[in-house]
Amino acid sequence: MDKRRSKSSGRINSKNNISIKMKKDTWYVLEFEGYNYDNLAIIYRILSEKFGSENIFYKTVDAKVLNNKKRTFVTKKIPIISNYMFIRSDNPIQIFDKVKKLFARVNMLKKVGSEEYQEISDEEINNMKCDFKEESRIWKRNDLVKIITGPYSDFIGTIISVKKDSIKVKLIIFDKEFKIVFPKTDVELI
């Protein structure tokens, strides 16, 4: 085996085993391709056992999903950011190598961004956590909402239906009923 003495640290390294000094714990993004929600929950459980649940950020929301076989609604945890997990570590190469060994059969891991593994600051992760708390509000039929932008700003209406990114609202203007679709960002619950 070809052994060399490292000039900076004085440690002996082989060709295949290079020790790398990293910064303090930072956040990194894992992108999983070709997995459904149930498999991502299993992956999250396995990774939280390996790295600790406080070092993994994976936000889910409870949603009612129609079970076609029995024609009933089932509550499932669906990720807000689908197919992405955030992991905190001091050595991203170790994380990616372990994850690749665990889930190598599906070619599920890919680097986000440039050729290098990109770190995410704690401040960015905390901002994302706060954003998800706001996003996790539940929109229900017949709830009162206030329009906050556009030509109908400051109007109050009731929710008729809710879709992924939009809400259909019933507004009463001059004693006439209008059904208008708004993006979720243009309305707020009262």
Question: What domains can you pick out in the chain, each with its CATH number?
Answer: 22-135 (3.30.70), 144-189 (2.30.30.30)
Residue 119 pLDDT greater than 70, yes or no: no
CB 30 within 8 A of CB 43: no
The model carries a pTM of 0.40
pLDDT at 40: 72
Distance, in Å, from the CA atom of 131 to the CA atom of 187, rounded to the nearest integer, reads: 16
Residue with tokens 């905190």: 88
User: pLDDT digit string (tens) for 33-91?
Assistant: 655 666 777 777 877 887 777 777 766 666 666 666 666 666 666 655 556 777 777 77
Residue 18 pLDDT greater than 70, yes or no: no
Of 7, 95, 12, 21, the C-alpha closest to 55 is 95
Rg (CA), the chain: 23
Strand pairing report for 3-5 and 12-14 = antiparallel
Mean pLDDT of 104-114: 43
